[in-house]
Amino acid sequence: MDNTKTTKLLNVLEKFTILDSSAEDDMYFQYIKQKHGKGVLSANGDDYINSLLGYILSPQVRKGDGWEISYNDFKPKVESLTNQFRSGTIIFPKKYATLEINNNEINQYNDYLFVKKLKILITTM
């Protein structure tokens, strides 16, 4: 480019302001982790998202010169990683796990509407 064109271009560019509204990498990563990592232990959230990204970028999903992931291919991977990273997330209080309940205690709730609905649901299965 000659000097006059360069000068004109620089004059025009001075009038532009580029506003980037995208989140910074770390903020966007945290957003993805909060939105899509709810099924896993929070301590495993980074590893879960990194594993999903690793799968997406892996050579196994390449199709010739292109790149393609179908929902049917992606869903089992998400389920597998969710199961892997959710282990240890379900904590059942020990005091209830060993609690012995007799039939009288169970039967006292038979008149509640939600119990009746559950009984109907179970008998129709």
pLDDT tens sequence across 70-91? 889 889 999 999 989 887 756 6
In this structure, the answer to whether residues 79 and 101 fall within a common structural domain is no
In this structure, the answer to whether residues 38 and 61 fall within a common structural domain is yes
pLDDT tens-place string over residues 29-48: 899 999 988 888 888 999 99
- Per cent of the chain over pLDDT 90 is 18
- Would you mind telling me the total number of residues written for the chain in this entry? 125
CB 55 within 8 A of CB 61: yes
Residue 11 CA: distances (Å) to CA of 17, 19, 71: 13, 19, 49
pLDDT at 41: 86
Phi, psi of 26, rounded to the nearest 5 degrees:
-65, -40
In this structure, the answer to whether residues 81 and 98 fall within a common structural domain is no
In this structure, the answer to whether residues 14 and 74 fall within a common structural domain is yes
In this structure, the answer to whether residues 57 and 27 fall within a common structural domain is yes
In this structure, the answer to whether residues 47 and 102 fall within a common structural domain is no
Please spell the DSSP secondary structure of 23-45, one letter per residue. PPHHHHHHHHHHHH-TTS-GGGH
Closest alpha carbon to 37 in 45, 28, 27: 45
Residue 86 CA: distances (Å) to CA of 5, 37, 51, 81: 60, 10, 13, 8
- Asked whether the predicted pLDDT for residue 94 surpasses 70, the reply is no
pLDDT at 43: 87
What's the whole-number mean pLDDT along residues 12-23? 76
Which structural domain range is residue 58 located in? 3-86
pLDDT at 80: 92
